[in-house]
Structure 1
Amino acid sequence: MSLLTITDLTLRIAGRTLLDQASLSIEAGRRIGLVGRNGAGKSTLLGAIAGDIAPDGGSIALSARATMGRVKQETPEGDQSLLDTVLSGHVERAALLHEAENADDPTRLADIHDRLLAIDAHGAPARAATILAGLGFDHEAQARPVSDFSGGWRMRVALATALFLNPDLLLLDEPTNHLDLEATIWLETWLKSFPGAAIIVSHDRSLLDNTVHAIAHLDRGKLSLTPGGYDEFVRIRTEQALQQTRAAERIAAQRAHMQSFVDRFRAQATKARQAQARIKALERLPQIDSVIEDTPMRFAFPEPSPLPPPMLSMERVTVGYDGRPVLRNLSLRLDLDDRIALLGQNGRGKSTFAKLLAGRLAPMTGTLSHSPRLRIGYFAQHQTDELVLSDTPIDHMARLMPQAAPAAVRSQLARFGLDAARAETKVSDLSGGEKARLLLALATRDAPHLLLLDEPTNHLDLDARDALIRALSAFEGAVVLISHDPHLVEAVADRLWLIEDGAIQPFDGDMDAYRGWLLDRARKAAADQRETTLRPADTERRASRRDRAELRRAQAPLRKEAKAAEALLEQILAERRKIETRLADPVLYSTGDSAEIARLNSRLAALSAQERKAEDRWLEIQAELEDAEAS
């Protein structure tokens, strides 16, 4: 049965048609990945499904009584703790708890508690805490007010609220943008076990491959559904493109052959009829467009000059902020052929380490040495704030390459897909992905030997991410990568370093092993979290429930025997009524069958004895049960 039905939907924004009579049906429990180029209308479609945008045509129908959850653009705020903020997102639970505190009617109070039990209201704090822990908030952070956290962390709280509601339909728009790798892997695991339906807009290839049942492709105003994850979508789409291209080539060859005949013989009277027939045949040939794709995106990093090893080394280095160490006693080296991904939760020191390598932070103790010819390219998302909004990409690049010719400036921008038009566009008018590509171009202008990439894919779409992977694979320098995108890490890094407890250690294993390690740790943390989250009243209720459960188990044999006695009494009563009805029938006596009358009376007496015995045993059992409950 369809949970969500989109029929002939048309959506227009600022006069531009984003969806043109598009249709899609999603069944309950199905998770769908929604993909398409930036600006195709994916977020607009989610807004229309959520009811924030009115359709210009067609309809969107959600099943009756179905619930919907969505991560809104507005981040939560206020003085409520993170845990209470998530709990308050369950409107029904909050309203019932408030009513329970003020209800005077015993009948209504009983109804309220029945409903609270049905929605597992008392287990809600533990569930909310588990979700927050998975998204990177420890027990102490969960007790802090929302106002203590930055916008990115507040978006995690909004995501936690949507997940906590456990709706029938979940709408997620780039859910991994504000997550680190650890939280992204946790979200993947959570979504796999989510029983509801979901529409997930994401540029995270791993998330789409590991969590969705099908891919909905929004292209030129239409929606098409392909079963499987993103890899399967790419395979099927590539095959379709090849078939369509071959069909277009066959039709084009046939058309050219016919047109040649027409051109040669149109003017000849003897061939005029055949030429006219060919013209009509030409008109009947189907129009098959070859697959129209935008120019494939390509990135290219300048090749660095050779450097003797070690490129960079450090001995017993400690680094931090304002005299407070974040990383201690680091003794490491980097060479030109290193491809390293940094693992570890946010706040453990990954970006601090990148700043140390980039020269943005000086060691507090220890020594850091490197080749005097070492050039470093450093990319970090926060650098977007350093761009001058009123300037163009050419202005930014020319300032950093004052000796370069204009052609060289434009060439460096073109390496990252910033063509002539985009190069002359004000930064304020660039998309998030275009700003990220500008930062990559600026960071690599000097052909660096070492690339430090701190979350380079946050605003890059799937095509741009693939272009980045291809460019990094061809790059001949060293790479140190911080990314929440498992697919990028797996494709680029050949070594994993784990930052934990102020130290950096090699992680012995691949990303699958790291996933397993994280899940094991998360399960242990969740068990601890459930214990610490339970309030005293919850603990008492749970202990009471355990006691009642043990009592029920102990009484099970008695209750079973009581039910058997009740069943026997019902059988005796039914048979006794039949015999009494038979004995009351005058026909029995008119036949003069004294033997049958004697048999029936004898059976009736036996049944009466059995009934008394069964009643006595039933009363004994009830007394034993009452004594057990009273003790």
Structure 2
Amino acid sequence: MTVLIIRDLTIRFGGRELLNGAELTLDTGHKVGLVGRNGAGKSTLLKAITKELIPDGGEIRLAARARMGVVAQEAPGGESSLLEAVLEADTERAELLGALERDDQAHRVAEIHERLMAIQADAAPARAATVLAGLGFDAAAQARPLNSFSGGWRMRVALARALFLEPDLLLLDEPTNHLDLEATLWLEGWLSRFAGAAIIVSHDRGLLDRAVDGIAHLDRGKILYYPGNYERFVRIRTERAAQVEAQRGKIAAQRAHMQSFVDRFRAKATKAKQAQSRIKALEKLPVIESVVEDAASTFNFPEPEELAPPVLALEQVDVGYGGPPILKGLDLRIDQDDRIALLGANGNGKSTLAKLLAGRLGPSRGTVKRAPRLRVGFFAQHQSEDLDASGTPLSHMQSALPSATISQCRSQLARFGLTVERAETKIANCSGGEKARLLLALCTRDAPQLLILDEPTNHLDIDAREAMVRALADYGGAVLIITHDPHLVELVADRLWLVTDGTVRNFDGDMDEYRTLLAERARGGGGREAEAGGKATERRKSASSRAALAPMRTRLREIEKEIEKLALERKLIERRLSDPATYAKRKPEDITWANTRQVVIARQTAALEEEWLKLSEQLDAA
């Protein structure tokens, strides 16, 4: 059944045309990811579907009697319990139950009971509780009043209300923004089983890869549909872009050739007719637009000074906030080449551990050993609230680096895509993504050896997240990351720490195994971490310890730097030898030395590349 039809839709906003003749058809069971650059009109389209906004032209038609589920923009509040708040979302059920209690509806009792049975009203409390549990609320939390929770947690309740309805059409705008990793993984599974249609706006690459079966790309006012997930969409777009550029190049060459003829013979009478025919042919040549994309996202972490391992170690550490410890008996070690992701539901102590490692919180018991000269960069999303709204990124960087020149401050901001214009924009006018970039620039200003990132991607789009992944791969320090984005965990982390039951321990598995563990817990099969991590343990059994691998990784980085130096030297020699002046100014023996040096560089480079490959294979097998 067709649930939604968008036909010839035109929407203008703020004097700008966002949509022009856009079209989309959505059938039952079809889940679509709506993507497009910032400002393309994704959220505006959702508002038009929900009738919050009246289009300037075209039509949006919803199937007769189809129910729509939308997450409220504002967090729900009140004294109702979480469970009651979710149940109230089903207005038909609430009205029917209310009618049963009214004396004037006594004659309809049988009819009302029949309808309640048809909509499975008796199973509603259990279904609502299941949705709330998946989003991180245990039985005790479900009984608490809404007003006792923070805005972020209440936004989860708003999501729970939309999911509980199991509507014919579900509209989700950045649904993972207020979720932790565990709730995000649960939502992915829920959407994969959802029988209705859905349109999902999200910057979460993992969600768009695993929870949708089509991508609707909002581009230049049109909606272009691509079957498959986001990964397939990127592949198709890349292939098409290459084809368009190739075709554009051919036509440009043909146009240049014909224009050359016209220019040469336009004034000659004998060739005038031919020239005129060429002019007409030129006019008929198709104009093919270049593939215009947003400027590439920029992230570039400063290269830190290398320290002897470990850079940080905890020995029997307890930590808390003055009362009973949040985490106890911590025995952990971080080396400079580590890439660690923290797993565990919100409230288990991940942020507490991050503050301890960053030096923002002291231990109540035990020892924290830090390497001499260790610098730690700490990113926390809430820090954006502490920025001076009247200041600029440049003024913030100047305050953080009082002895640096303006040029050096601008250079640090440019590492994270804050160009000259962006660097002088008032914080009050900066987007969430620009504030996140500023916080990253600030926390890495002194090239830290340990970078702690607590939800760094909340306001970054997909391209920016991919750029961050590439930058972290090149970064020479340790990374500890807390994120709700499983795609980011899979690409960045090579170690997983599970924060649960008041302690932290290694999770010897990958994200697929962690999903399995969460699914088992949901079915009542919790406490099987060791079994879930069995396969990964097998893969790692050849490595005696993390410490034994550290020298190999250090040598890899040394080899890469040596190869870079040799490549630079080779280019300089080649440039010198290709310059005729060299042979007039230099002695013959200098020329001989340069040619001999080229041969030596080639041999040294080949030997280093072979050593690099062997070490890489050993590390991959470890």
Q: Please report the TM-score for the alignment, with normalisation by the length of structure 2.
A: 0.84
**How far apart in 2 are the matches of 1:131 and 1:523?**
14
**How far apart in 2 are the matches of 1:20 and 1:389?**
36
What is residue 442 of structure 1 aligned with on the other side? 442
What is residue 500 of structure 1 aligned with on the other side? 500
**How far apart in 2 are the matches of 1:155 and 1:117?**
30
What is residue 35 of structure 1 aligned with on the other side? 35
What is residue 334 of structure 2 aligned with on the other side? 334
1:459-518 Cα offsets, whole Å, 9 max, x none, are 100000000000001111100010010000000000101011111110011000000000
What is residue 215 of structure 1 aligned with on the other side? 215
Task: Give 1:289 shift.
Answer: 1.0
What is residue 568 of structure 1 aligned with on the other side? none
**How far apart in 2 are the matches of 1:407 and 1:76?**
47
Structural mapping, 1:241-280, within 5 Å: 241-280=241-280
Structural mapping, 1:405-554, within 5 Å: 405-524=405-524
What is residue 176 of structure 1 aligned with on the other side? 176
Is 2:100–2:106's contact at 8 Å kept on the other side of the alignment? Answer: no
Determine which structure has more spread, i.e. the larger CA radius of gyration. Answer: 1
Is 1:394–1:424's contact at 8 Å kept on the other side of the alignment? Answer: yes
Letter of the structure 2 residue corresponding to residue 164 of structure 1? F
What is residue 583 of structure 2 aligned with on the other side? none
Is 1:103–1:109's contact at 8 Å kept on the other side of the alignment? Answer: no
Partner SS, residue 412 of structure 1: helix
**How far apart in 2 are the matches of 1:500 and 1:341?**
14
What is residue 559 of structure 2 aligned with on the other side? none
Task: Give 1:371 shift.
Answer: 1.5
Task: Give 1:372 shift.
Answer: 2.4
1:550-590 Cα offsets, whole Å, 9 max, x none, are xxxxxxxxxxxxxxxxxxxxxxxxxxxxxxxxxxxxxxxxx
**How far apart in 1 are the matches of 2:506 and 2:434?**
34
**How far apart in 2 are the matches of 1:324 and 1:39?**
47
**How far apart in 1 are the matches of 2:121 and 2:48?**
31
Tell whether 2:155 aligns with 1:155.
yes
What is residue 318 of structure 1 aligned with on the other side? 318
1:363-395 Cα offsets, whole Å, 9 max, x none, are 011110102200111001110111111100000
Is 1:180–1:484's contact at 8 Å kept on the other side of the alignment? Answer: yes
What is residue 285 of structure 2 aligned with on the other side? 285
Letter of the structure 1 residue corresponding to residue 7 of structure 2? T
What is residue 234 of structure 2 aligned with on the other side? 234
Is 2:338–2:479's contact at 8 Å kept on the other side of the alignment? Answer: yes
What is residue 382 of structure 2 aligned with on the other side? 382
Partner SS, residue 60 of structure 2: strand
Structure 1: 5+ residue stretches without partners = 527-631
1:231-282 Cα offsets, whole Å, 9 max, x none, are 0000000011000000100000000000011111111111111111111100
Partner SS, residue 34 of structure 1: strand
| Runs of 4+ residues deviating >3 angstroms | 103-107
**How far apart in 1 are the matches of 2:93 and 2:55?**
32
What is residue 201 of structure 1 aligned with on the other side? 201
1:516-547 Cα offsets, whole Å, 9 max, x none, are 00011012289xxxxxxxxxxxxxxxxxxxxx
Is 1:70–1:172's contact at 8 Å kept on the other side of the alignment? Answer: yes
Partner SS, residue 480 of structure 1: strand
Is 1:298–1:415's contact at 8 Å kept on the other side of the alignment? Answer: yes
Partner SS, residue 394 of structure 1: helix
Letter of the structure 1 residue corresponding to residue 512 of structure 2? D
Is 2:37–2:294's contact at 8 Å kept on the other side of the alignment? Answer: no
Task: Give 1:407 shift.
Answer: 1.0
What is residue 366 of structure 1 aligned with on the other side? 366
Partner SS, residue 523 of structure 2: helix
Q: Which region of structure 1 is more displaced relative to structure 2, 362-371 or 131-140?
A: 362-371
Partner SS, residue 289 of structure 2: coil
**How far apart in 2 are the matches of 1:109 and 1:103?**
10
What is residue 115 of structure 1 aligned with on the other side? 115
Letter of the structure 2 residue corresponding to residue 193 of structure 1? R
Task: Give 1:104 shift.
Answer: 5.2
**How far apart in 2 are the matches of 1:271 and 1:121?**
86
**How far apart in 2 are the matches of 1:308 and 1:105?**
79
Task: Give 1:29 shift.
Answer: 1.4
**How far apart in 1 are the matches of 2:215 and 2:409?**
40
1:109-140 Cα offsets, whole Å, 9 max, x none, are 00000011111111100000000000000000
What is residue 146 of structure 1 aligned with on the other side? 146
Is 1:93–1:121's contact at 8 Å kept on the other side of the alignment? Answer: yes
Task: Give 1:106 shift.
Answer: 5.1
Partner SS, residue 361 of structure 1: coil
What is residue 557 of structure 1 aligned with on the other side? none
**How far apart in 1 are the matches of 2:375 and 2:219?**
42
Is 2:181–2:345's contact at 8 Å kept on the other side of the alignment? Answer: yes
Partner SS, residue 325 of structure 1: coil
Is 2:432–2:459's contact at 8 Å kept on the other side of the alignment? Answer: yes
What is residue 7 of structure 2 aligned with on the other side? 7
What is residue 570 of structure 1 aligned with on the other side? none
**How far apart in 2 are the matches of 1:74 and 1:8?**
31
Structural mapping, 1:17-36, within 5 Å: 17-36=17-36
Q: Please report the TM-score for the alignment, with normalisation by the length of structure 1.
A: 0.82
Letter of the structure 2 residue corresponding to residue 305 of structure 1? E
Task: Give 1:57 shift.
Answer: 1.1
What is residue 58 of structure 2 aligned with on the other side? 58
Partner SS, residue 304 of structure 2: coil
Tell whether 2:295 aligns with 1:295.
yes
Task: Give 1:286 shift.
Answer: 0.1
**How far apart in 1 are the matches of 2:310 and 2:191?**
44
Change (3 A) 1:316 1:99: same
Partner SS, residue 12 of structure 1: strand
Partner SS, residue 19 of structure 1: strand
Give the number of equivalent residue pairs: 526
What is residue 82 of structure 2 aligned with on the other side? 82
Task: Give 1:324 shift.
Answer: 2.5
1:49-102 Cα offsets, whole Å, 9 max, x none, are 011011011111001111100001011000000000000110000010011112
**How far apart in 2 are the matches of 1:413 and 1:361?**
28
Is 1:9–1:59's contact at 8 Å kept on the other side of the alignment? Answer: yes
**How far apart in 2 are the matches of 1:416 and 1:450?**
18
**How far apart in 2 are the matches of 1:439 and 1:320?**
26
Percent identical residues: 65
Letter of the structure 1 residue corresponding to residue 416 of structure 2? F
Partner SS, residue 280 of structure 1: helix
Is 1:182–1:345's contact at 8 Å kept on the other side of the alignment? Answer: yes
Structural mapping, 1:540-579, within 5 Å: none
Tell whether 2:400 aligns with 1:397.
no
> What root-mean-square deviation, in Å, do the aligned CA atoms of Structure 1 and Structure 2 show?
1.1
Task: Give 1:293 shift.
Answer: 1.2
**How far apart in 1 are the matches of 2:505 and 2:308?**
25
**How far apart in 1 are the matches of 2:133 and 2:455?**
22
Is 2:450–2:477's contact at 8 Å kept on the other side of the alignment? Answer: yes
What is residue 92 of structure 1 aligned with on the other side? 92
Letter of the structure 1 residue corresponding to residue 284 of structure 2? R
What is residue 137 of structure 1 aligned with on the other side? 137
Task: Give 1:19 shift.
Answer: 1.1
**How far apart in 1 are the matches of 2:273 and 2:471?**
59
What is residue 165 of structure 1 aligned with on the other side? 165
**How far apart in 2 are the matches of 1:317 and 1:402?**
36
Letter of the structure 1 residue corresponding to residue 204 of structure 2? D
Partner SS, residue 293 of structure 1: coil
Task: Give 1:11 shift.
Answer: 1.3
Change (3 A) 1:105 1:317: closer
What is residue 575 of structure 2 aligned with on the other side? none
